[in-house]
Amino acid sequence: MVFPASMAQQNHGPQMLTANRLRDGDVLYRKSDGWVLVLADGDVFADQAGADAALAEAQAEMARNEFVAPYLFEVRVVNGVTQPVKEREIIRAAGPTVRADLGKQSGMVNV
Asked whether position 96 contacts other proteins by CB under 8 A, the answer is: yes
Report how far residue 60's alpha carbon sits from residue 105's, in angstroms, rounded to the nearest whole number. Answer: 31
Rank residues 1 and 49 by Cβ distance to other proteins and give the closer one: 1
Strand partners, 76: 83
Min dist. Cβ of residue 28 to other proteins (A): 12
Asked whether position 42 contacts other proteins by CB under 8 A, the answer is: no
Element spanning 5, H or E: helix 5-10
Q: How many helices (H) and strands (E) does the chain have?
A: 3, 5
Asked whether position 100 contacts other proteins by CB under 8 A, the answer is: no
Q: Where on the chain is the footprint of other proteins (CB under 8 A)?
A: 1, 20, 22-27, 62-65, 68-69, 85-88, 91-92, 95-99, 102-103
